[in-house]
Every structure is written in C-alpha cells, then in structure tokens.
Amino acid sequence: MPPVETLDRALRAASPSEVVEVALKSVGRERLALVSSFGTESAALLKVMADVDPAIPVIFLDTGWLFGETLAYRDTLIATLGLRDVRSIKPREETLSRQDPERELWFSDPDACCRIRKVEPLARALKPFAAWINGRKRFQGGARADIPVVEADGGRLKFNPFANVSREQIEAIYRLAKLPPHPLAASGYLSVGCMPCTSRTSPDEDARAGRWRGRAKTECGIHTTRTP
C-alpha cells in the first residue's frame, strides 16, 4: 500500500472517479469500503463509485434514529445505481439497552449517542478493510475546510474523492445522471442525519446548520475519531 503522503500529492488535482480508481487499485475491492449516509448529497459519490465498480462494499450506518425517507432513499439508490453490496450496520442491542434504554441519550449526551450508534458500529464494520471512501467536501466548512484527498485513519487509508468539488459540480452530477433527490431535500433539509438532531435550514444558512442546531457539536465523531 503506497504511503499516504505520496497518494495525497498524486491525487490533489484528480477527479473523483480517478480517486476511487486509485483507491481500488491500492487495496483491492475486498479491502475497500465506501461509507455513505444516503443523505442529501450521497447519490453523487455513489454514482461515481458505481461507474468505477458497483460491487465495492458500501457501509450504511442504520442508527435506529434515521428518517424513514432516508431508509427508502437507500433502497431507491441501490436499485437506481445497481449497487451490489450495501451493508446496513446497526448498533449492538445490548449496548443500546445498557446505555440508552429510554432513547433519550441524544438529548442528554449527543456525543455519547453518536458514539454508540455511529462511531462504534463503523469501527466494527471497517475491521476487514484497509481503506475507506467518504463524501466530505471542503466547501462544507468547519473541520472539513482543509481536508486532504487522502489521509491516514488509524492503520487505514481514508479517501476523500469530493474534497475539491464544488456544490455546483455535485448538482451537475445529479442533473447529468438524472439522480433522484433525497425525499426531504425539497422540504428544506439540506443535510440529513438522525431525526432528533436534524432540522431544516434557511437559504442563507450553511448546509450543515441544521445538524445539532443550538449546540457546539458539528460532527458525529466518525470523522474525528481514528478507527482502530
């Protein structure tokens, strides 16, 4: 597996499809996964991946708090794009029973809620893989403003094929491929996560302003915690 710095330098000006192709060649399909929320911008990256190899494993974190529309969108995109290996990963029932028996952890300790419903399940799901692909973009701002195209994530490579893309380029992918939008996008949800921690955004707000509104929290933890 090439050094992360070498890959990042080589791919700084690469197209998203070129990044996915290099990720695939670097570790092979059995050792590469794409992690997708099947959110409002997810179809663009899934389309790019499917054009390279629709059998690359896709990990979807079914937290138990997702909108029904997101679950339906997952199924729609699987059929539309011909995705062959989508793995819906859920939190462990014993963990939920022990740490969130009343389903109120999202309110009292959202970091802990994200940890047991997203961070720990993802760490478990990624164990067989040497590298993973995600859809973060620099234009989303905050902690994402300076992300590289390739970075180290514990002992894995983490590829960010959309690091350099603009919102207009993503819209163009949707338009040219006639991709269906997330069912909640028309209702003002520009970024969709778990139901209790997602709200609508107004046109003058950042796309992720509706996530954990009113709290200092801006990330669920899967991109700020190194996976073992």
Domains and CATH numbers, the chain: 4-186 (3.40.50.620)
Task: Tell me the C-alpha distance between 63 and 22, whole Å.
Answer: 30
pLDDT of residue 102: 96
pLDDT of residue 60: 98
- % of the chain beyond a pLDDT of 70: 91
Task: Tell me the C-alpha distance between 88 and 34, whole Å.
Answer: 12
Counting runs of H as helices and runs of E as strands, what totals does the chain give?
9, 6
> Which residues does residue 151 pair with via DSSP β-bridges, in sequence order?
158
Positions annotated as catalytic residues are 220
Examine the pLDDT at 92 and tell me if it is beyond 70: yes
Task: Tell me the C-alpha distance between 93 and 88, whole Å.
Answer: 15
Examine the pLDDT at 57 and tell me if it is beyond 70: yes
Examine the pLDDT at 208 and tell me if it is beyond 80: no
pLDDT of residue 141: 67
pLDDT higher at 173 or 145:
173
Examine the pLDDT at 49 and tell me if it is beyond 70: yes
Examine the pLDDT at 206 and tell me if it is beyond 90: no
